[in-house]
Structure 1
Amino acid sequence: MTTEAQIHADIEAIREKIPETQDLYREVCTILFFRYGITPTANKLYQYVRKGSMSAPAEALVKFWEDLREKSRVRIEHPDLPEAVKTAAGDLVASLWTQAQAAAQETLTAFRAEAQTVVLEAKTVKAAAETERDAALAQLNQAQQTIQAATERALQMERELAIEQAGKESLTAQLAAALRQHTSLENALAEARRDFADELEKLRQALQKSEERHEAGEKRALLEIDRERMNAAKVQKEMAQLRESQMEVAERHRNQIDLLQKELGAARQNAGVAEGTLQEMRAIYQQQTEQLQSLRTALSEGEAQRTVLEHDLMASREKVAILEKELQQLGSVPKVLAETAKPPRKSRKKVAD
């Protein structure tokens, strides 16, 4: 607890015991001056007590100093001494008392400072000891954990060692079996090599025979190739002759085609003339049709001309019949022209030949 807190605690302890304000202020002055070595002032008194007006702590402070001076004054009672000597002697003793009290107060202050220093050092040592204790406890816990982990690790290593020993024994057994299998495989390999040598010799003999057959076949193939070359040369000659004959036939065909094209042009010209004649006949027929229409119109105009118109109509119909016959005859003209445009069969046979 700090000094300030202790002062407040002491004041609160006497506050209930001393209800009077002046008495309370004087008691606080006594506590501050004699117990804590603090010179009391009006402001400090009011800050600690906070009771009454601001003049109350000042009056109490004046009364405190008067009482203190009165109590510290020494009176020397002697019947033979003059009053001045008595007063001087009393003042001297009072001065000595004051100086002694001041020295005692200084000693007390130094002692208090030293005590506080010792207390602080003790607290520091205590804190360091507690820190060391906590560190030691932490190290102890860590050491215990390390020991426990080491123990578990040792047990784990023992288990792993047992597993490794079992695995080693298994590997030893597997190695022995592998050695036996290796010996068996070497024997089988030696036998396979002997079989392979025999088969290789057989293959060499078969290969030699095959090479001989191949050489004979190659000779036969060369002879066949020569014969095929001769046949190919003969075929090429025949192909050349055939091409020449085909070219001659193609030339004859081209000449015949030119002749036929000329005949076709003449036939087309004749057909054009016939077409012109047909157009003229159609125009005449159209005129006759128009005349017939006009006659029919005139017939409707009066019954008086009916006989004449019927006679003309009959005549016109006869003319139409004649024209139709002529048209039919003209229609057969293109067929005749087409037949005349066809080449003679004898010439076609020659072309085909």
Structure 2
Amino acid sequence: MNIESEIREAIDALRDTTANTQELYREACALLFFRYGITPTANKLYQFVRKGSMSAPAEALARFWEELREKSRVRIEHPDLPDPLKAAAGELVGRLWNDAQAAAHENLSAFRQEADARVAAADAATRRVKHDWQAANDELEHLHEAIDQASERNLSLERAVAAERAEKEALARELSAARQLHQAHEAELSMARKDFASELEKLRDALRRAEDRYEATEKRALLEIDHERTATAKVQKELAQLRQANVDLIQRQRDELGALQRELGGVRQAFGAAEGSLNKMNEVAGQHIAQIDAMRGQLSQRTTEVALLRRELELRDEKIRTMAQQMLPAPEPGDARPSAKPKARKREPSSPVAVAGAVTTTPPPKAR
């Protein structure tokens, strides 16, 4: 607490006990001069008291100084002493009083300075403590804010870690599902490869059997066509064309089989295109089988035509023999020699049904 606050508190206490304005100002003058060593002025008095007009503190201050001067004079009342001596003695006692009062004021000033220094030191210490307390409080608030920020950051990190953990678990589940799906696709691809290899082997066997049957049929047809060369030139030409077409078809089938094998190698790289390629190969194989069936029908038809032509030739030969026998002269009577009959050429009986049955083949199994 500073001096002005103490003075104001003391004057407030005097205000409660003194109702007269002049008395209040006179007590305020004595308080300032004797207790605090402050020379009172009209402005200071009015600043602390703030009562009445501006002339009131001036009058109280003049009266205070007059009373103080009156009290500082010492009167010596003795009938035996002359007046000059009384005045000199009064002057001496007044000077002693002033000196004592000055010494007292000096001591009081020293004491007041020491007290002021202690108060200033206490105030400084108090200010330092308040400053340290404020700094500590600010630091504590900063620490609280840092702790709150750290807590929020920790919560956000925990949320981020939880989200990353959940995302990692979801990715792990997706990876596991993808691995299972990949294994299932690998199994399906392996089964598709096995099925395709089996179907391809069956198709090759069917083609080999068809070639063998075709070669056997061709040999039989050539043996029969050798006997009917003049009558079956057109048939031979058609058979040659058919043979060439069959050779071209077989070559195309081999090329397509090579393409299918290359496509099978491509299936290992792209499983998604395997099913489409397999369907396409099945369609091509179906077309090949349909073409082989059509060729088989054409071959059976040509064989039937050959058999019919051969039958027509036999009927023609029979007719020729019959006409030759009719054109022979009649035998003379008495001629014991039997009539010479032309010896007919013996041919192997053949029927269109037998020939057609020779080239009838069992159709290969349809590709899946």
**TM-score normalised according to structure 2 size:** 0.43
Which structure is larger by alpha-carbon Rg, 1 or 2?
1
The structure that is helix-richer by fraction is 1
